[in-house]
Amino acid sequence: MSPLINHRRVINPRRVINPRRAAAAVLTTALLVPLAACGDDSGSAKDKGEGSGSAAAPGAPKADLTVLAASSLTDVFKAAGAAYEKENPGTKVTFSFAGSQELAAQVKQGAPADALVTADTRTMDGLSGDTGKPTVIARNRLVIATGEGNPEKVGGLKDLAYPKLKVVLAAPEVPVGRYSAQILDAQKIEVRPVSQEPNVRAVLSKVSLGEADAGLVYRTDAATATDKVDAIDIPDEQNAIASYPAATLKTSEHSEAAAAFVAWLSTPAAQKILQGAGFQQP
């Protein structure tokens, strides 16, 4: 006689579901789902610039930028900087204007700055180890600046050689000084200046104050003082073209924001401001 077989199902105790535990698990899941929906994989609110409780503004990274710029950009860059700040809330652009050779010296000395714009490619090329890749953002030409009404009746470059005419030029190491020497040498005109100035604005000032009869300046600089000086055009075949390269500085603590500003200088919005001030397109 075969033994009796117990057909009752053996239940694994581990699979027994405690009703209280099940309810707790459901409640915990319900609480965690909305918390997870509040975040994402892009970083914390602080990383996204939301520490103040408002969404980060679109556009370039926010930063306080310092830009070293050639003296001849003084007026137009003030307008350009205001426009850039308006387009990029939270960003402030501060300019330091000087002759390009002075700016180069500041860069070499480690001056805290984020970007550089010079009035010639030669100066910028000499700083290749300190800057990113430069981009020409504008061009310019020279004119003869005289006192208002041109009292000495200066008609062209050859008149600058007249011995009794007080002529002021920029120093040879200054871009506008080199351009001046270039065009005078090409025409075989010898000029003995009464002074050699550290930047183009100093040349313009000497003429506008009546301390000199004439001087060679950029067309855009003369345009800023039409109530004090007259501008005598120099024919293109006798003139020189000044190029303005812009680049980021490798020592910048705001490299992305600096790169965004340099790139913006080539945009239609920036070019409209530059060309409105008399600069030529790159």
Q: What is the DSSP string of 180-225?
A: HHHHHHHTT-----SEEESSHHHHHHHHHTTS-SEEEEEHHHHGGG
Q: What is the pTM of this model?
A: 0.78
- Return the SS3 of 40: coil
Beta strands in the chain (DSSP E): 64-70, 92-98, 115-117, 135-147, 167-170, 195-197, 214-218, 229-233, 241-248
Q: Looking at the structure, do residues 204 and 264 belong to the same domain, yes or no? A: no
pLDDT tens digits for range 202-243:
999 999 999 999 999 999 999 999 999 999 999 999 999 999
Q: Looking at the structure, do residues 173 and 224 belong to the same domain, yes or no? A: yes
Percent pLDDT > 70 in the chain is 79
Average pLDDT across the chain, whole number: 85
- Which CATH number goes with the domain that contains 149? 3.40.190.10
Does residue 273 carry a pLDDT above 50? Answer: yes
What is the number of domains present in the chain?
A: 2
Residue with tokens 């183009």: 200
Whether residue 9 lies inside any domain: the answer is: no
Q: Looking at the structure, do residues 182 and 122 belong to the same domain, yes or no? A: no
Overall average pLDDT of the 253-279 stretch: 97
Whether residue 180 lies inside any domain: the answer is: yes
pLDDT range class, residue 131, cuts 50, 70, 90: very high
Overall average pLDDT of the 116-136 stretch: 97
pLDDT for 187? 97
Whether residue 44 lies inside any domain: the answer is: no
pLDDT range class, residue 16, cuts 50, 70, 90: very low
Bridge partners of 67, per DSSP, are 95, 115
Q: Looking at the structure, do residues 124 and 178 belong to the same domain, yes or no? A: no
Q: Looking at the structure, do residues 117 and 255 belong to the same domain, yes or no? A: yes
Q: Looking at the structure, do residues 79 and 217 belong to the same domain, yes or no? A: no
pLDDT for 59? 65
**213: domain range?**
141-241
Q: Looking at the structure, do residues 99 and 154 belong to the same domain, yes or no? A: no
Measure CA 274 to chain center. Answer: 12
Whether residue 23 lies inside any domain: the answer is: no
pLDDT for 51? 33
pLDDT for 14? 39
Percent pLDDT > 90 in the chain is 78
Q: Looking at the structure, do residues 249 and 229 belong to the same domain, yes or no? A: no
Whether residue 56 lies inside any domain: the answer is: no
- Evaluate the CA torsion angle 150, 155, 159, 163 in order and state its sign: negative
Q: Looking at the structure, do residues 70 and 205 belong to the same domain, yes or no? A: no
Q: Looking at the structure, do residues 88 and 220 belong to the same domain, yes or no? A: no
pLDDT tens digits for range 35-90:
333 333 333 333 333 333 333 335 678 999 999 999 999 999 999 999 999 999 99
Q: Looking at the structure, do residues 167 and 229 belong to the same domain, yes or no? A: yes
